[in-house]
Structure 1
Amino acid sequence: MPRRAWSIIIITALIGVGFAAFTAHLLYQKEQEAIRKELHKDVNNAAMALAREVNLGLELLYAVKNHFDAGHRLNARNFQPLTSGVLKRHPSFKSIEWADIVMHHQRRHYTQGMTAAQPDRTSFNIVELNDQSQLVTASRRDMYFPLRFTSGNNQSDAVMGYDLGSTPITRQALKTSFNTGVPVATPATTMERAYGDVRGFLLIMPILVDPEQLAGDNTQDLRGFLVAVIDVETLVNLAIKTVINDGINYTLIDTTDPNHRQVLHTHRVELAQMKDSLAQQPAEPILFAGREWELVGYPTVSYMQQRQSWVPMWTFLIGSGIFFVICYLLYRLQARAYSVQVQVEQKTHALKDANSRLESMTKCDGLTGLYNRTQFEQALEREIQRAVRDETPLSLMLVEIQHLSNYNSQYGRVAGDQLIRQVAQAIDEMLKRPGDLVCRYTGSQFIAILPRTEGASRLGEECVTAVKRLQIPFEDEPESRVAVFVGGVTVTEQKEMTASRLCAYGEIGLTRAKADVDKGWHWMVVS
């Protein structure tokens, strides 16, 4: 068949498919408008039911607040009966807690008072959860909000003293509630409590000493906080399950922060649901305690099938094909992103290796490869502590190349560097014990730490001999070769084992070695 005929057939088919799709789309739009209105009504009814349930919880919490505003004494005996009634009436309340406010300078006095008030329990302490979800003593902060009383099905003495201000979100909510004097709800999250994890949010209400006064910054005006732990799933199921149509999926979203929309709860009636974004129906916002929630409804397949004819269904099938194309494009995009991520990780690994090598270079002397003076001082402190603890002797040996400046003047700086490297290698090879440590001390001096070394005076002579054995020519020296002075000290007296004294003794030994030119070394014993 000629190419022109194939072109005509294809163009005719495309025109026919386009006309059919356009006709189906008109019918689909009419049906969608009717479905959308019905769906919007159902979702709004569900949102109103959820708002009523949330406000009921607020009213119950206000009832508890009014009880304490009336001047009733706060103790475990009246806190438990009052709050237990609220928990029975509102199943989404997992617990109601009382949190005090304690400044850092009051912490010790507060914990002592709480311990004295509860003699039948272990000592009271302000605690927080660490990274392993274990209760530990709370770290230092300007303010603490420890739990004093709690009620609910999951009561536990272990939760007493838990600092609600140990996380930034709850700490900010507590301060906002006190400053404004109104209830504040935290963002929903999985809260790690002493009695288990709860997926929900905290509803915080301040209790002032004088209910008639406005809130402020003075913590002395605050008696404490009523804190309700509310389970989102129970709250939503209790409010919506009997109201919304069984054919509607819905999602509850926290839209308080427009830049960070948080999905609080998702309900799916059917796994195979319509992928039509136009069918989404958001209800009016639910406003309470400083938060804004939005309930969005999605019709399921059965919901749509009951209200659609077969003609618009073809539009749905076409839309499904487009969706699979989009999915394929997303797959390709994800593959590209993964490839870029792998390259970034490889470069990051290479950067870490380079940083590790750089750190190693900062610990060592660039010329000799020995540890530098900073590492020597740190190692000496460790060995002194070990020697004092184990009551063992500790020795220090200081080695200086004779007339290094004259050598540099006569043979040049490059030869001088080569000389320093050779002497450093000779000293390092002479000290064969694994615990011995040789470091570059100054330009012409090396220093060695010799732990657990007794009778170390022989090392001074061995060091002098080892350097002479190199046979490095130097015309200014008596034997026409390079030599070194060695001063050493062995300390067995514990009170003499300080870094400054050890180094001072080493300098003294080196000075005496310089005085004895023929011998070239001197060793001291401090006991």
Structure 2
Amino acid sequence: MFTPSHLWGIKAPSQFRSIEWVDIVMHHQRRHYTQGMNAAQPDLSSFNIMELNAQNQLKPAARRDMYFPLRFTSGNNQSDSVMGYDLGSTPITRQALKTSFNTGVPVATPATTIERAYGNVRGFLLIMPILVDPEQLGGDDTQDLRGFLVAVIDVETLVNLAIKTVINDGINYTLIDTTDPNNRQVLHTHRVELAQMKDSLAQQPAEPILFAGREWELVGYPTISYMQQRQSWMPMWTFLIGSGIFFVICYLLYRLQSRAYSVQVQVEQKTHALKEANSRLESMTKCDGLTGLYNRTQFEQALDREVQRAVRDQAPLSLMLVEIQHLSNYNSQYGRIAGDQLIRQVAQILDEMLKRPGDLVCRYTGSQFIAILPRTEGASRLGEECVTAVKRLQIPFEGEPDNRVVVYVGGVTVTEQKEMTASRLCAYGEIGLTRVKSEPDKDNGWHWMVVS
């Protein structure tokens, strides 16, 4: 799981109750996730994935395919009780999480009383997905989803901050969520004077405010005393109120999106660096640095797996050992660089010959290569093809037969299950190679054994 350690220094702006990080956890990962959290943060008291019951009390979350536990919060209220709260435990927040992931943009939940975990405030959640690749969106594919950045926003604080300059100037206003035309929701109401205006034309709704997937409408009208004192300024104030609130909210949204983008860039940079480090480490531990083939350690592990599979399936298994003749003499005569080039050429020939998905060719020793050939019909023909392919390169080697580089091949095909062990397969391959080296002319450079 992604650990948002780079968020620990973030302090939530005053208009946000907190900025939080939410992980995504599959059900089969739940036990390991909670154990890891308890081990990593011993100061937390018995971390678990929680949800609210009917009495608004926290309890362990019911079984679901996917959980969205809160892992980090910049807020100061009830931090311990907040940790582990599953944002996917209610239909509203779960739908907001899904919509945010599918679209890749911030999504706000409908305003409601956010109980217990956030201090019983009237507000909403602003949810932003953090992806490895922002271009890969959609469906239930969470492979590239690292988690969600969530801002807990207090409606009253946000509205008061946006229009603070006109609260005491005699303006009554109402902020309404009109996303669902059939269910208009009043988010905030400010009344300076309880008396209603007789002239309905004095009520001035501002242009709709599109905010993170929600549509808001601000309806404001001046009080009677305000009209009497500033009657000629009413159109100007109405325009300023609507425009000011719109631009302030847009600015707040821009700040949140900028912060989310900054976090996402850091995640991408660290993920890219980790992938490169893992790739280099895997190459160093599994592959031969000169040829790019798997090394002897990987060969031994692969041979054990293939032997077990062959015994289970009652199938034949073949092994081929290839040796470049007198490689040390070649290095002495032509130099180490030429010797390395020769090894790479032979490795390329073997890699091109063995193209079946189950075939595996590895660097065995300095001058030897070894190949595993499961379920290969007529495996012995590969020995002759290998010898012929190397001769066809016509690599000069003075002092050798035909004055060119040759390879010797020893191979074995085992069908007898009692003989099907890794050590015996390697021993038979060595026997075949030794025989062809002792009598090279008799076997034309290769010798194949069948154990049945």
TM-score of the two chains, using structure 1 as the length reference: 0.43
Larger Rg: 1
* TM-score (norm: length of structure 2): 0.49
Greater fraction of residues in helix: 1
Structure with higher RCO (Cα < 8 A, 6+ apart)? 1
